[in-house]
Chain A
Amino acid sequence: MSGPIILAEQLTEAYGTNVAVDHLDLAIEQGEVFGLLGPNGAGKTTTILMMLGLTEPTSGTARVAGFDPLRQPLEVKRRVGYMPDQVGFYDNLSGVVNLRYTARLAGIPRREIDPRIDAAMSRVGLAEAAHHAVKTYSRGMRQRLAIAEILMKQASVAILDEPTGGLDPQATREFLDLIRSLKQDGMTILLSSHLLDLVQSVCDRVALFNVGKIGLIGRVNDLLREVLGGSHVIRVEATGSQLDRAIAAVPGVKRVTEQGGVFRVEASGDLRPQIARAVVAAGGDLITIAAGHASLDEVYRQYFEGVRDAA
């Protein structure tokens, strides 16, 4: 199959006047681990549900593995494994019985079901607990059972919504190792999270979400390089008219974006004195000027802070 395995074009979901996802464009290549990052309520889960055909988009289209989730949801769901936020199982049934039920719903041939379940359970380290009732499972075991379900389905795409939510550090580490091993199998993984560390360590590319829009998108390494070396990012808080033009005119400034009186300036070096002078010369009131973000965590925090101030 050529082209991106997950594709969204102008995907929009509006509940009345409240826009959850706003004209989203996204392309994810086969074998990629892609992270959707953003605060709660940013539209990550809605985007995922539209990819699965579980929510009907208001406008725009999505394609998963070449199928339209709206018209061919069964084809999409046959190829995609989904682990919802706070995944649940039938507590009184054992892990294996839970998987058998989904295996039959997934239409896996009857005689393949048990071998596939056994293989998946031992892969995620649940072979011991396979026949215990799920109510005896810890949070981490439930998450791993959900991964076993995806493995059993032999899905080519895994969509994980907040996969490490509520896990302790040890369980999180184990879980991330599991995701890396899925990647080695060539599985495309789309995961959403509000935890940057997680995304930074496993994702090839990330998209920063806010109020239904993608603010930043790119390879983790590129984003890091942008921040740590090469270009500097300077945050300028000032009031005045047409300051963006004044700042952009400073030699060495690559890009200026404004969000409610806060300018995000990308420059070739630490141009704080020059920018400060330019703002004052343009008749603006300079309130703060800060430079350099040490980590992606900072970018993330700063980015959403800026957006929230604008809101």
Chain B
Amino acid sequence: MRREGSALSGVGTVVLKELADNLTSTRMRLLELLIFVTGAGAAYSTIGEVRQQLSEYPFVFLLIFTAAHEPLPSFVAFLGFLIPIVAIALGFDAVNSEFNRRTMSRILAQPIYRDALLIGKFLAGLITLAVVLSALWLLVVGLGILMLGLPPNTDEVLRGFAFLLAAIAYGGVWLALALLFSVIFRSAATAALASLAVWLLFAFFWQMLVPLVTMAVAPPDPYDPYSALHTINVGMDISRISPNTLFSEATLAFLSPTTRALGPVLSSQMQGAIRGTPLPLGESIAIVWPQLTALLASVIVLFVIAYILFQRQEVRA
């Protein structure tokens, strides 16, 4: 049985309304302030160190993103930490707040499908996230140009841009997760706590759990040297369930052009390679293509689950 009319009618209206809400809410202003101060601070503090390597390293500009100036973590590490929080803040009350304000049935009684509401809310969140990250990215690049006194070369700009896209995809995963919880839990506080619990798991505890799980699943056989390799690979696969791992691997490949592989490499595989030489951008992208695909796939899977649950939800509060 087919329903008539476009599932997308009304999406634009929802996006504009949600975007206006996102950009004017106090919650977002505070988060923007937080991310700008910490992000720009981290980048600013590293520039002093970066300057000393100006003559030695061909990709100085990218060092602004990756270099850490003790005791501050690098800009990239900050983002890996803060993007999920911003994305969760954008999504955790997307759907349940409509129920709690009792606006849901009134909005759905307008000639739109539920699809429009959910897609509109997700797109508005993603656009907000993209705007915040692009602004931050431009700010850091601008700071770099001012303080280093030289413009980034084409390769650096492209790599920086690829990193920005990966960051938005990474944010999209957390946004979709928060949106999913906002569909599942009627209480916004529960949805926020559930999202933050998942974030805590992946941000802090996942790397502790990985060795335990790996040893249980694929213990190395002391008489078989290849089994050790197998154990390492299994461990990496388990680690890559976490979007944080996927994002940090993607950033590593984009921002450190000398990265040739993300897993263990046998010396036979390194034969003929010149150590320390940068890869062209295309090769770097090829290395982390699976990571990027996995990030996008997570966004889609989480959104689809949220979509199905939302379609089946009772409208009455």
Interface positions of A (Cβ within 8 A of B): 45-46, 49, 52, 54-55, 70-75, 77-78, 80-84, 86-91, 101-102, 104-107, 146, 149
Residues of A contacting B315 with CB < 8 Å? 49, 54-55
Q: Measured between C-beta atoms, what is the minimum distance from A152 to chain B in Å?
A: 11
A146: contacting residue among B3, B106, B107, CB under 8 A:
B106
Q: Is the CB of A107 within 8 A of B9?
A: yes
A90: contacting residue among B2, B5, B14, B101, CB under 8 A:
B101
Interface residues of B in 115-132 (CB under 8 A from A): none
State in angstroms the CA–CA spacing of A180 and B193 once bound together.
Answer: 48
State in angstroms the CA–CA spacing of A251 and B105 once bound together.
Answer: 53
Q: Is the CB of A75 within 8 A of B5?
A: yes
Asked if B73 is an interface residue, CB under 8 A from chain A, the answer is no
Interface residues of B in 214-231 (CB under 8 A from A): none
Q: Measured between C-beta atoms, what is the minimum distance from B110 to chain A in Å?
A: 4
Q: Measured between C-beta atoms, what is the minimum distance from B181 to chain A in Å?
A: 22
Q: Is the CB of A72 within 8 A of B4?
A: yes
Closest to B97 in A: A90
Given contacts A45-B316, A71-B1, A75-B4, A87 and B102 within 8 Å (CB-CB): yes
Given contacts A55-B314, A55-B315, A82-B105, A106 and B1 within 8 Å (CB-CB): no
A-B contact pairs, 24 of them (CB 8 A): A49-B105, A52-B109, A54-B315, A70-B1, A72-B3, A73-B113, A74-B112, A75-B4, A75-B5, A78-B111, A82-B105, A82-B106, A82-B109, A83-B106, A88-B106, A89-B101, A89-B106, A90-B103, A101-B13, A102-B106, A104-B13, A105-B107, A105-B112, A106-B111
State in angstroms the CA–CA spacing of A84 and B109 once bound together.
Answer: 9
Q: Is the CB of A74 within 8 A of B13?
A: no
Contact residues of B: prevailing secondary structure: loop
Residues of A contacting B3 with CB < 8 Å? 70-73
State in angstroms the CA–CA spacing of A105 and B107 once bound together.
Answer: 8
- Residues 41-67 of B, flagged 1 when their CB comes within 8 A of A and 0 if not, give 000000000000000000000000000
Q: Is the CB of A77 within 8 A of B105?
A: no
Q: Is the CB of A105 within 8 A of B10?
A: yes
Q: Is the CB of A84 within 8 A of B110?
A: no
Residues of B contacting A45 with CB < 8 Å? 316
Asked if B29 is an interface residue, CB under 8 A from chain A, the answer is no
State in angstroms the CA–CA spacing of A71 and B4 once bound together.
Answer: 6
Asked if B17 is an interface residue, CB under 8 A from chain A, the answer is yes
How big is chain B's contact interface, by range? 20 to 34
Closest to B99 in A: A88
Asked if B301 is an interface residue, CB under 8 A from chain A, the answer is no
Residues of B contacting A71 with CB < 8 Å? 1-4
Asked if B108 is an interface residue, CB under 8 A from chain A, the answer is yes
Q: Is the CB of B110 within 8 A of A105?
A: yes
State in angstroms the CA–CA spacing of A77 and B9 once bound together.
Answer: 13
Q: Measured between C-beta atoms, what is the minimum distance from B138 to chain A in Å?
A: 30
Q: Is the CB of A88 within 8 A of B101?
A: yes
Closest to B13 in A: A104
Q: Is the CB of B5 within 8 A of A106?
A: no
9 A-B pairs with least C-beta separation: A88-B102, A82-B109, A74-B5, A105-B110, A84-B105, A104-B13, A77-B111, A74-B111, A78-B111
Q: Measured between C-beta atoms, what is the minimum distance from A55 to chain B in Å?
A: 7
Closest to A82 in B: B109
Residues of B contacting A78 with CB < 8 Å? 111
Q: Measured between C-beta atoms, what is the minimum distance from A248 to chain B in Å?
A: 42
Q: Is the CB of A91 within 8 A of B101?
A: yes
A72: contacting residue among B5, B101, B112, CB under 8 A:
B5
Interface residues of B in 74-102 (CB under 8 A from A): 101-102
State in angstroms the CA–CA spacing of A77 and B116 once bound together.
Answer: 15
Closest to B101 in A: A88
Q: Is the CB of B102 within 8 A of A105?
A: no
Q: Measured between C-beta atoms, what is the minimum distance from B210 to chain A in Å?
A: 43
Closest to B120 in A: A105
Residues of B contacting A49 with CB < 8 Å? 105, 315-316
State in angstroms the CA–CA spacing of A55 and B316 once bound together.
Answer: 9
State in angstroms the CA–CA spacing of A107 and B14 once bound together.
Answer: 12
State in angstroms the CA–CA spacing of A84 and B317 once bound together.
Answer: 10
Residues of B contacting A146 with CB < 8 Å? 106
Q: Measured between C-beta atoms, what is the minimum distance from B175 to chain A in Å?
A: 21
State in angstroms the CA–CA spacing of A54 and B109 once bound together.
Answer: 8
Q: Is the CB of A88 within 8 A of B103?
A: yes
State in angstroms the CA–CA spacing of A54 and B312 once bound together.
Answer: 10
B105: contacting residue among A54, A75, A81, A149, CB under 8 A:
A54
Residues of A contacting B10 with CB < 8 Å? 104-105, 107
State in angstroms the CA–CA spacing of A91 and B25 once bound together.
Answer: 13
Given contacts A45-B316, A49-B315, A71-B2, A80 and B109 within 8 Å (CB-CB): yes
B4: contacting residue among A54, A74, A82, CB under 8 A:
A74
Closest to B98 in A: A88
Residues of A contacting B101 with CB < 8 Å? 88-91
Q: Is the CB of B105 within 8 A of A106?
A: no
State in angstroms the CA–CA spacing of A210 and B1 once bound together.
Answer: 31
Residues of A contacting B106 with CB < 8 Å? 82-84, 87-89, 102, 146, 149
Given contacts A71-B4, A74-B5, A74-B9, A107 and B111 within 8 Å (CB-CB): yes
State in angstroms the CA–CA spacing of A190 and B105 once bound together.
Answer: 17
Residues of A contacting B111 with CB < 8 Å? 73-75, 77-78, 105-107
Residues of A contacting B5 with CB < 8 Å? 72-75
Q: Measured between C-beta atoms, what is the minimum distance from B240 to chain A in Å?
A: 40
State in angstroms the CA–CA spacing of A88 and B3 once bound together.
Answer: 28
Q: Measured between C-beta atoms, what is the minimum distance from A306 to chain B in Å?
A: 28
